[in-house]
Structure 1
């Protein structure tokens, strides 16, 4: 027996069906297609530089668009190192390009969180 479904993994790129939402990229308001990944929406808005490499500062942008390469890292709503190809765009979202390496939390806070997680 074959089950028919109206659900598809692929969506049209014209954005007419879902409309547009306003987001902020580096404090600039952009109207982008709704229902897309942040990476696809930024590309549609003409953004081609998402981050800079920590070593040389070279500009980077999404490459694989499926979460394997980590070239699309951005800060989303204050959370750094988000894969923009894996997050759906939402109205009012604040996205910032990621510049260089991200700081690691102090080792004391990491040790404390591990202790709490293990019930110590």
Structure 2
């Protein structure tokens, strides 16, 4: 995958694996989910108001632009949640996935 971010420093930290939309990616210990995501993929989620992709805006928990969901449906703010080994994240709102099936 081609990420939006390129890691230039702090490459010596331990690695953890996180699953994003069914694809395993590597993160480094201490990375936020947003850092892990944007080092691996080009966006954090799809807008709930249209087809636009969202990549986070403020990177510090103020703008509400980086909401993602666990595989169990729990909503997380990717910029303030530390990536942990074994996490499974989806980037589309679970209700929106069900709505797409009805079409």
Structure 1 length-normalised TM: 0.64
The match for 1:41 is 36
Q: C-alpha deviations, 1:52-90, integer Å up to 9, x for none?
A: 222222111111111111111111242343110010000
The match for 1:29 is 24
CA contact (8 A) 1:73 1:98 kept: no
1:99: how far off?
4.1
CA distance in 1, matches of 2:29, 2:64: 23
RMSD: 2.3
Report 1 or 2 for greater relative contact order, CA contacts < 8 Å, sequence distance ≥ 6: 2
Q: Cα gap change, 1:100/1:79 in structure 2, threshold over 3 Å: closer, same or farther?
A: closer
1:60 aligns with 2:54: yes
Structure 2 length-normalised TM: 0.73
Q: Cα gap change, 1:16/1:56 in structure 2, threshold over 3 Å: closer, same or farther?
A: closer
- Moved runs in structure 1, 4+ residues, more than 6 A? none
The match for 2:14 is 19
The match for 1:79 is 73
- The number of residues matched between the two structures is 90
Q: C-alpha deviations, 1:22-55, integer Å up to 9, x for none?
A: 110111111111211100111122x122212222
